Structure 1
Amino acid sequence: MVLSIKARRDEAGLSAGELLIDGRWRPAGDGNLWTHHHPATAEEVGTFAIAGVADVDAAVRSARAAFDDGPWPRARAKDRIRVLRRIADGIRGHAEELQTLVALDNGVPVSFGETYAMSVECVADIFEHHAGWVDKIGGETLPGYQGGDHMVFTLREPVGAVAAVIPWNGPLLLAAQKLAPALAAGCTVVLKPSEFATFSVLRLVRIIEEAGLPAGVLNVVTGPGETTGDALINHPLIDKITFTGSRGVGRKVLAAAANGIKRVSLELGGKSPSVVFPDADVYAAATTTMGTVTLGLSGQACVAHTRALVHRDVYDEFLAIVEAMAALVNYGDPFHPETTASPLINERQLDRVLGYIESGRAEGARLIVGGDRLDGELAAGNFVQPTVFADVSNDATIAREEIFGPVLAVIPFTDEDEAIRLANDTSYGLAATVWTADVRRAFRMTKALRAGTVGVNGYQLEPHVAFGGHGQSGLNREGGRSSIEAYTELKTVLIPTSDEMM
C-alpha cells in the first residue's frame, strides 16, 4: 500500500496560512501562495502566504513602532512574566496538535516527540525558564576609579526590533529558543519560519498571541528565504538578526548585519565528533552515535555526531554494532508509533545526500551498509537508507562537510593525541561527545576539544544552558544567561554625588 498522509492532513483542517502584522492576520499583499508538499509522500499539505517586500516592510515597521512607542519594552516585570508563563501553559495544552503539525510539516515521526529536546514539553520549558529571567535582568554598580564623588552603574536594556529566521528541522524548538529570550528582554520580533515547516509555527504564534502579547510585538512573515528572508534581514529598521540554518545562508546574514552594523547571532551547524576510547561502553557509544545520525531527523540536525572517531582496539566492535542498528531503523508513516526516522526534507536535499554518498565511494571510503534511496511503497518520499562508511580519511569530503542526512563516517585513531587532532581538524565546532570510563581523560578531552558543547558518555540539549559553537558553527549563544545578554544592550550610567567635578 502506498504511503499517504491525506487523512491526517484533512483531520488537521488546515486553512491557508496568513501573515501576522500589527496584531492582524492577513494574506500577502500580492496574493502569492506557497504550496507545501510532504517529504514522505509528495502529497500537498497546504498553502500559505508568500510575504513580499511590502509585507515585510509593514511587519518590520509594526515591530519598530511596538518597540519605540508600545507597552511591551516598558512593561513591569510581573506583566511580562505572566504572559510568558501563559504561553508555556498554552503550549502544553496544545501539545498533541502541535506535534501533529510538525509531522505534517517536515515528516519527523510523532514518536520522536517523546525525546525531550524535540518535545513540545521542552518548548514550553524554554518559555517558562525565560520567564524566570525577566525580573533578574540587571546590571552592576562599580566604585569610582578617578575624579570626584560619583556613582557608576550599568543597565541592561532590550536590543530593539529583532529579525528571527528559523529552519525546518526543529521549528517549534528553534522558534522558542529565539522568541522566549527576546520577549523576556522586552524586544519586539519579526519571525520568519522555513517554507518547509510553517504550519506548526503559525499555530505556535497563535498560542503566543492568545496569551496576551500586545499587537505588533510579534509579527510573522512566511515564504522562501530568497525573497521573504532577504527582505527581512536587509531591512534598515531591524536592530538584530538571529538565524539558525546553513553556513551558506549564514554568510548572507552576516553580510546583511555588517552592512547595517546590526547585532547578530548565528547557529550554523556542525560536523560533530563522537570520540570512543577502548575503555568506553562501546555498545552505548555506538547506538547513541548512530542514533543521532539515523533516528528522528535522519541526521538532519546540527548536533548529529556524523564523525565517529574510534580507537583501533574497539573499531571492529563499533562497526558491527552500528551496522546492526542500521537494520532497526523504521521509515514510513510519521504518525505510526513504530516509525523511528524521517525522510529528507525535499528533493534538493535528497540529491545532495546521495551526491555525498557517491563522493564517499569515489574517495575510497569503505561502505559498510546503506548508500541507496528507498523504493517500493516509500518511492514517492525522500528516503535514504542509513549509511555507514568505514576507514574514512579526515580529509575526505564526507568527513569535512555537513551532509545533513543519515550518513556516518567512522575514522580510526591510535591514541589520545591523535583523537584530539582529528576532532579539532574541522572548520566547525558545535558539539562533541567523549566516551571513556576514565574521568581524568574525560576532563582532559573536554578541555582540549574546540566545541561549544561537550558531552561525556552521552549528549543532550537543555533549555537553560548556553548552546552555540566555535569557528564556522556560528556566533554567540542561545539559552540561559547568554540568551538574555544576546537580546540586551549594556548601558553605562555616571551620576555625580557631590558638586566636585568628576
Structure 2
Amino acid sequence: MADVPLDLTLQMAPVSQTPGERIYVHGSIYDSFVSKFVELTKKYKLGDPTLPDTNLGPVVSIASAERIRKQVADAINAGAKALIPEDLFPAAKVGTAFVAPQVLVDVNHSMDVMMEETFGPVVGIQKVSSDEEAISLMNDSPYGLTASIWTNAAAHPESEAAFLAIMDKLQTGTVFLNRCDALDPALAWTGVKDSGRGVSLSKFGYDQLTRAKSVHMKIVTA
C-alpha cells in the first residue's frame, strides 16, 4: 500500500519458499522502493553457508539453479530489466547451485518469473496504480499459498480497514500484514489452487492425521 514505510518493506528477502516471489508496488513509491531494494540486495554475501559472513547460500540443486537462470534469461529476453550485476557475486557460476540474487523490473504476467514458482533469490517488481490492480494481479496465479501486504496502519488507522478488505479478496491460504515467512502453530498452514488442499498446524491439522468413526447403538431395555 502507498503509505508503507520503505524500510519496513525491505524485510521481504526472496530467499525461501514463502517470501515474495513477485512484488507489486504503488507508483507513488515505486522508484524509491526499487532503489532501496536493489541497494539492500547488493549487500548479500553469496557463498558457503557454513561460513559466518554468508547470508545467501546455494539453491537446492544444480538443476534448480539452471531453471532459475533460465527464468531470468527468458524474462530479460521478453523485455524485463535486470538491476543486479552478476559479477558482484563471483560464487554464482554455471554448473553450480550458487545463483546470484536478481531484481527484475519492467516485468509482466506473460513471463514465467511472474507466474511460476522460482524457489530462488530472484524477484520481479511490478508497478501498480491502485489496490484493486494489485489484488487482480496477486490473484492472477495458478498458486495460492501466501500473500503479504505492507502498510503503515500504526500511523494511518484507515489502512487497517483497507488491509482487511484486501485480505478478504485474496485467493491464498495465508495472508501476512507487514511480515512474511512466519508460522504460528495455532494457525492453519494451507494453500489453495495448485498450492494444495491439505492443512497442517492448528487444530485443523489434526483432522489430516485422524479418521472419524461412527458408532450406532441400539440398546434394548426391558
Q: Same fold (TM over 0.5)?
A: yes
Deviation digits for residues 96-136 of structure 1, max 9, x if unmatched?
xxxxxxxxxxxxxxxxxxxxxxxxxxxxxxxxxxxxxxxxx
Q: Residues 433 and 454 of structure 1 are in contact (CA less than 8 Å); yes or no, is this contact kept in structure 2?
A: yes
Give the match for residue 122 of structure 2: 407
**Equivalent of 2:11, from 288, 298, 316?**
288
Pairing of 1:200-219 with structure 2 (within 5 A): none
Change (3 A) 1:358 1:372: farther
C-alpha displacement of 1:302: 2.7
C-alpha displacement of 1:391: 2.1
Distance 1:425 1:450 in 2: 9
Give the match for residue 489 of structure 1: 211
Pairing of 1:328-347 with structure 2 (within 5 A): 328-347=43-62
C-alpha displacement of 1:319: 0.2
Distance 1:399 1:380 in 2: 24
- SS for the counterpart of 1:463 is coil
What is the one-letter code of the residue matched to 2:17? C
**Number of aligned residue pairs:** 215
**Equivalent of 1:456, from 167, 177, 184?**
177
Distance 2:114 2:149 in 1: 18
**Equivalent of 2:168, from 425, 447, 450?**
447
What is the one-letter code of the residue matched to 2:109? N
Give the match for residue 83 of structure 1: none
Q: Which runs of 5+ in 2 are unaligned?
A: 154-158
Deviation digits for residues 198-236 of structure 1, max 9, x if unmatched?
xxxxxxxxxxxxxxxxxxxxxxxxxxxxxxxxxxxxxxx
Pairing of 1:160-175 with structure 2 (within 5 A): none
1:279 matches 2:3:
yes
**Equivalent of 1:317, from 21, 32, 38?**
32
Q: Which runs of 5+ in 1 are unaligned?
A: 1-276, 294-298
Q: Residues 344 and 382 of structure 1 are in contact (CA less than 8 Å); yes or no, is this contact kept in structure 2?
A: yes
Distance 2:64 2:130 in 1: 36
Considering only aligned residues, what root-mean-square deviation do their CA atoms show, in Å?
2.2
Pairing of 1:77-116 with structure 2 (within 5 A): none
Pairing of 1:26-425 with structure 2 (within 5 A): 277-285=1-9, 287-289=10-12, 291=13, 293=14, 299=15, 301-370=16-85, 374-375=89-90, 381-425=96-140
Change (3 A) 1:380 1:348: closer
Q: Residues 144 and 192 of structure 2 are in contact (CA less than 8 Å); yes or no, is this contact kept in structure 1?
A: yes
Distance 2:195 2:149 in 1: 19
C-alpha displacement of 1:407: 0.7
- TM-score scaled by length of structure 1: 0.41
Q: Residues 370 and 386 of structure 1 are in contact (CA less than 8 Å); yes or no, is this contact kept in structure 2?
A: no
Q: Residues 311 and 413 of structure 1 are in contact (CA less than 8 Å); yes or no, is this contact kept in structure 2?
A: yes
C-alpha displacement of 1:386: 1.0
What is the one-letter code of the residue matched to 1:396? M
Distance 1:375 1:415 in 2: 39
Give the match for residue 474 of structure 1: 196
Give the match for residue 431 of structure 1: 146
- SS for the counterpart of 1:325 is helix
What is the one-letter code of the residue matched to 1:389? L
Change (3 A) 1:493 1:372: farther
Give the match for residue 156 of structure 2: none
Of all paired residues, the percent bearing the same amino acid is 26
Higher helix share: 1
Q: Residues 373 and 383 of structure 1 are in contact (CA less than 8 Å); yes or no, is this contact kept in structure 2?
A: no
What is the one-letter code of the residue matched to 2:8? A
What is the one-letter code of the residue matched to 2:81? R
Change (3 A) 1:339 1:467: same
Distance 2:88 2:117 in 1: 19
